[in-house]
Each structure stands twice: as structure tokens, then as C-alpha cells.
């Protein structure tokens, strides 16, 4: 039986989504990080005893996922925490990125069961701040999935949010246009923004700023260890109830504001460049790990109010499942693409049958 899978190879997490037989969505997540550990005689025993997940490549061992963070904390000066992805693309400074990413795909997606199985994955939209281009990343990613026998569809990250959340634009005559709106993904390495009309991306752009940028700036400005900044952000940051006496929380609020301004200003510039006209104001849907703190949409509204946008918006909404919205959107697209693939292959088979029938008829007539 054909399988349909959504894959989101994020800077922070690698995720897959698949519909199970009981009509639920199963989401698999792993932290996109690893550490290399020295091979000793009993290394595999140690790894198995600790139940650490690893990738073995000949004599080299790489502990992967959350376990990598544990190992890095245990031996802070001996092992270095490494990432296969950086800034939304394969990490150009990491020599083992391909090995790790290929093994993540092998272990999560595996081999395609038939010719009609489909994977949809996502990449960043074109960069507008002179940061990395994702063409090479896309080609590598596609090849890693295709080699397992899958049909591959690639979409923009912002589009995945719109496909997942199905925002609707109500046009002046009252008609509803589904899958229309602005999808913004605030990730760890990058932020992506796409304006979509009836499921089709109209304007898309990305910038090389995300949660990592905020953490780094706050860490530098408050002289606080980055791990402590992340811990505070995850536990205490609430934009509806800010403790501004706390330096870290105050700095987080400031740099969240900076990030939002940076993204929206670049998107506005791109909007002006394209000179797109929308029949009615679209709404904004946000998702991604950086959008998780409580009150994030309130913060976004406040920042947007102070900016002069070249377009109107009808509202701001946090995705129903912000952590998994992108991968779910990829799954939706995979389902549609698979349907089209099946239709097209059925069409071809029917044509062949018709041709064969015609030939047989003409042979009969001739005889």
C-alpha cells in the first residue's frame, strides 16, 4: 500500500508526519544535533547500556538527538555539540551533515513501498537579506529521499503553514477563498514568510534570523550563558505578563521585537517590489518553535501596529499546533501530490488500454 509522508528537516528538530491506519497523524521528532565520540573496544556496549541512539560509520560513532545534548553536557570540554543543519540549510561547516541527514531519512522514512508513494518536504523561500541560498540544500535533500524510491515534492516552509491551517479570505462579494493568507514560520535558524492565494504561493521570502539570533543577542547583552537564556525563554517568557526587572526576560522581549520588525519590514519591501493586489485583507498565521512563548501573537500585533505596512491584514493567529504545523502542511501537500500522481498514472494506463483496444479492433476488421 502506498505511503504519504511529510518531512520537515528543521535547524532545531527533524520531523516527519504520516497518517496512521486509525486516521490519526503520527509525528516523529528528533533533535537535529549530534556529537562524535571516540571509538573504544567496548563503545557499543556503553552506548547500548545507556540506550543512546547513534549512527555508526565504520570506526566512527555519532550520538544523535536529545542524547547528544546529554553527552555534551556530561563532557563539556571533551565533545562538541554539532548540527547537520544551520540557518535553515545543510550546515556548510559540518563535514558529517550528509551522513547524519541521510541516516535520519533512512531511519524515519525508509524505503518507499511502491511507485506511487510520496514524500513532501520543505525548504526556505528565497533569501532577501543576502544570506544563504537553498538551491544546493534542496538538491541534496531531494536526492537523499529519492534514492529510497520516493516521489518527492518540495514546497516553501511558509506555504506549509497555510496548507496546515487553512486560513480563509472573505472577498468583497462574500465568497470565501480557502488556503489564502500569510504564513510565517519563526524557526531557530531562519524566518520564512509566504503570501498564499488559493493554495498558490504569490510572494515568498526568508531571512537568516530566528530563535538562535535572539538567544545569541540576549546572551551577549546580558552576559548570560546561552543555555540559561534558552531555559528562561522556555520556562518564564510570557509576553502578556513580562517580568521586566529580570534582565534576560527584558532582553528577550527587546530582541523578539527586533526579529519581528526585521521579518515584517523585509516582507513589506518584497510586497512593494512585486506590487501584488489582494482582493481582501488576508490574515497572518504564525508557527514554529520561536512562536511558542505565551502571548507571542500579542507581541506580533503590537509590533505590526507601529509599522506602516503596504497592505492590510484582517487578523493574526497562532497555528493550532505551532510546533508541528509545518510538517503537517507538508503532509497535506504530499496527499494532494500523491492523488495527482495516481490520477496521472491511471490516465496513462487507460490511454495504453484504449490504444491496445483500437489496435485489436483494427486487426479484427482486417482479418
Residues that bind another protein (CB under 8 A): 16, 19-20, 23-30, 47-48, 53-58, 64-66, 98-99, 102-104, 106-108, 139-140, 142-144, 146-147, 163, 166, 178-179, 198-200, 320-321, 324, 328, 332, 335-336, 339-340
Q: How far is the CB of 204 from another protein (least distance, A)?
A: 16
In the complex with another protein, which residue's Cβ is closer, 107 or 221? Answer: 107
**Closer residue to another protein (CB): 72 or 141:** 141
In whole angstroms, how close is the CB of 66 to another protein at the nearest point? Answer: 8
Q: Among residues 140 and 261, whose Cβ is nearest to another protein? A: 140
Q: Which is nearer to another protein, 104 or 264 (CB)?
A: 104
Q: For residues 83 and 64, what is the distance between their CA atoms, to the nearest angstrom?
A: 10
Q: Which is nearer to another protein, 147 or 348 (CB)?
A: 147
Q: Which residues pair with 297 in a beta bridge?
A: none
Q: Which is nearer to another protein, 144 or 208 (CB)?
A: 144
Buried b / exposed e along 270-303 (16+ C-beta atoms within 10 A): bbeeeeeebeeebbbbbbbbbbbbebbbebbeeb
CB 169 within 8 A of CB 284: no
DSSP 104-115: HHHHHT-S-SST
By beta-carbon proximity to another protein, the closer residue of 11 and 191 is: 11
Least Å from the CB of residue 71 to another protein: 14
Residues 6+ apart with CB under 8 A from 228: 248
Task: Output the smallest distance, CB 93 to another protein, in A.
Answer: 17
CB of residue 103 vs another protein: minimum separation in angstroms?
A: 5
- In the complex, the smallest distance separating the C-beta of residue 254 from another protein, rounded to whole angstroms, is 33
Whichever of 64 and 249 has its CB closer to another protein, that residue is 64
Strands, sheet with 191-197, edge to edge from the N-terminal-most edge strand: 200-207, 191-197, 181-186, 283-287, 315-318
What would the grid cell of residue 176 be? 470565501
Q: How far apart are CA 301 and CA 316, in angstroms?
A: 7
Q: What single-letter DSSP state applies at residue 125? A: P
Q: Do the Cβ atoms of 300 and 316 come closer than 8 Å? A: yes
CB of 320 to another protein, least distance (A): 8
**Contact at 8 Å (CB) between 257 and 296?**
no
256: exposed, middle or buried (C-beta count within 10 Å: 0-12, 13-18, 19+)? buried
Instruction: State the nearest-atom distance from the C-beta of 167 to another protein, in Å.
Output: 13
Amino acid at each position: 500500500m502506498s505511503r504519504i509522508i511529510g518531512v520537515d528537516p528543521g535547524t532545531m528538530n527533524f520531523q516527519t508526519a504520516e497518517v496512521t491506519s486509525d486516521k490519526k497523524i503520527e509525528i516523529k521528532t528528533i533533535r537535529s544535533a549530534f556529537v562524535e565520540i571516540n571509538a573504544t573496544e567496548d563503545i557499543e556496549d556503553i552506548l547500548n547500556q545507556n540506550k543512546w541512539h547513534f549512527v555508526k560509520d565504520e570506526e566512527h560513532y555519532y550520538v544523535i538527538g536529545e542524547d547528544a545534548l546529554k553527552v555534551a553536557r556530561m563532557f563539556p570540554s571533551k565533545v562538541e555539540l554539532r548540527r547537520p543543519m544551520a540557518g535553515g540549510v545543510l550546515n556548510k561547516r559540518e563535514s558529517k551533515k550528509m551522513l547524519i541527514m541521510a541516516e535520519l531519512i533512512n531511519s524515519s522514512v525508509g524505503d518507499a513501498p511502491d511507485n506511487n508513494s510520496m514524500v513532501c518536504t520543505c525548504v526556505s523561500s528565497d533569501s532577501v537579506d543576502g544570506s544563504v541560498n537553498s538551491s544546493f540544500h534542496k538538491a541534496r535533500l531531494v536526492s537523499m529521499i529519492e534514492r529510497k524510491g520516493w516521489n518527492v515534492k518540495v514546497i516553501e516552509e511558509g506555504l506549509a503553514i497555510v496548507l496546515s491551517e487553512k486560513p480563509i479570505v472573505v472577498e468583497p462579494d462574500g465568497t470565501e477563498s480557502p488556503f489564502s493568507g500569510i504564513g510565517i514560520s519563526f524557526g531557530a535558524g531562519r524566518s520564512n514568510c509566504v503570501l498564499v492565494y488559493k493554495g498558490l504561493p504569490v510572494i515568498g521570502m526568508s531571512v537568516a534570523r530566528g530563535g538562535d539570533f535572539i538567544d545569541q543577542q540576549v546572551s551577549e547583552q546580558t552576559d548570560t550563558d546561552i543555555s540559561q537564556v534558552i531555559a528562561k525563554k522556555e520556562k518564564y517568557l510570557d509576553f502578556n505578563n513580562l517580568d521586566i526587572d529580570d534582565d534576560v526576560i527584558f532582553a528577550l522581549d527587546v530582541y523578539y521585537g527586533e526579529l519581528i520588525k526585521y521579518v515584517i519590514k523585509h516582507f513589506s519591501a518584497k510586497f512593494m517590489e512585486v506590487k501584488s493586489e489582494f482582493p481582501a485583507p488576508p490574515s497572518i498565521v504564525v508557527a514554529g518553535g520561536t512562536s511558542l512563548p505565551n502571548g507571542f501573537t500579542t507581541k506580533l500585533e503590537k509590533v505590526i501596529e507601529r509599522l506602516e505596512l503596504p497592505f492590510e491584514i484582517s487578523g493574526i493567529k497562532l497555528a493550532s499546533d505551532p510546533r508541528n504545523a509545518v510538517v503537517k502542511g507538508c503532509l497535506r501537500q504530499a496527499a494532494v501530490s500523491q492523488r495527482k500522481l495516481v490520477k496521472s498514472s491511471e490516465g496513462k494506463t487507460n490511454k495504453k488500454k484504449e490504444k491496445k483496444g483500437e489496435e485489436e479492433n483494427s486487426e479484427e476488421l482486417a482479418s
